[in-house]
Amino acid sequence: MYLTEVKFADVVMNQFKYKVKAYIGIFSSLLIVQVFGLLMSLNGSSSMGTVGNAFSLSLNNYTGNIVIIFTMLWGFISAITITTKAYKNDDFTFISNRLSRNLANIFFLILASLIGGITALLSGYLLKVVMFFFVDEGFVILTNINITEIILGIFVTSLYMILLSSFGYFIGTVVQLSKWFKVLLPILFLSYLFLTANTSEETTLIVEIGEFYLNEDSLFIFFLKIFITSILLFCFSIGLSNRMEVRQ
């Protein structure tokens, strides 16, 4: 008689593979969100113009910024979604524990963030190509495609996706601790926005946090900020999930 020893890494990998196949609806929603973002971008992300005695000039700048913003929101909401009871109960089909479930979820979110970062960044170039062929009036000037800039843009966008996903996963885990948090967290957030809107302070906590991650010139330090913050949020989420009951 032989005993089969189940390796922890194999359990995590099997759960991860299952989630990639089972959560295909999340990627379908990504496509819908990005198509909607492209439609919203058809009028241009910014515009300027001038009028002379015998001419008028209008310039529209087409970028994928709107798609990137929508994709980041998608990553945040998707991270919250996979912490819900419906998704969590799927893990009971495996011989696993909370740690393996959380690690599989984290790996899935990282994969989703990479896919979202790549498609969101490239959508800006797709938008310019579409406008080049379908604009009837005026001229469309395409900027040169720099492979280095594309790779760097994908890297940065994916990091932001991972950061928002880790934050969303943390929020989703907190909400699962008690149903009261579903009401308490939105109230606290809206109350904070209301209070800061009526103050004379030029900067608020949210603005300072945004500047901490956005206004960074060093790519390496930027990576460290995102990496450390995401690791901490994921670790906090795993720690909080250990306080939950086995099955709710």
**Greater confidence, 228 or 177?**
228
Give the pLDDT score at 107: 94
Residue 13 or residue 44, greater confidence? 13
Q: What is the pLDDT of residues 89-147, one digit of tens each?
A: 666 666 667 888 899 999 999 999 999 999 999 888 888 777 777 765 556 666 667 78
DSSP E strands, the chain: 46-51, 56-61
| Residue 11 DSSP SS3 | helix
pTM score:
0.83
Per-residue pLDDT tens for 66-85? 899 999 999 999 999 998 87
Query: What CA dihedral angle connects 229, 235, 239 and 241, to 10 degrees?
Result: 90
d(CA 123, CA 135): 18
Residue 23 backbone class (left: φ over 0; alpha: ψ -120 to 50; beta: rest): alpha
Q: What pLDDT is stored for residue 139 in this prediction?
A: 61
Mean pLDDT on 143-162: 87
- Tell me the pLDDT band of 248, cut-offs 50, 70 and 90: very low
Domain ranges of the chain: 8-48+55-177+216-241
222 Cβ contact list (under 8 Å, min separation 6): 156, 159, 213, 216
Tokens of 124: 């800006």
> Is residue 206 predicted with pLDDT exceeding 80?
no
Across the range 17-43, mean pLDDT stands at: 87
**Cα–Cα distance measured from residue 57 to residue 47, given in angstroms and rounded to the nearest whole number:** 11
What's the number of CA atoms in the CB half-sphere (13 Å) around residue 61?
Answer: 8
Residue 126: what pLDDT? 83
Mean pLDDT (the chain, rounded) = 81
Please give the full DSSP string across 58-81, using - where no structure is assigned. EEEE--SHHHHHHHHHHHHHHHHH
Question: Comparing C-alpha atoms, which of 12, 72, 67 is closest to residue 39?
Answer: 67
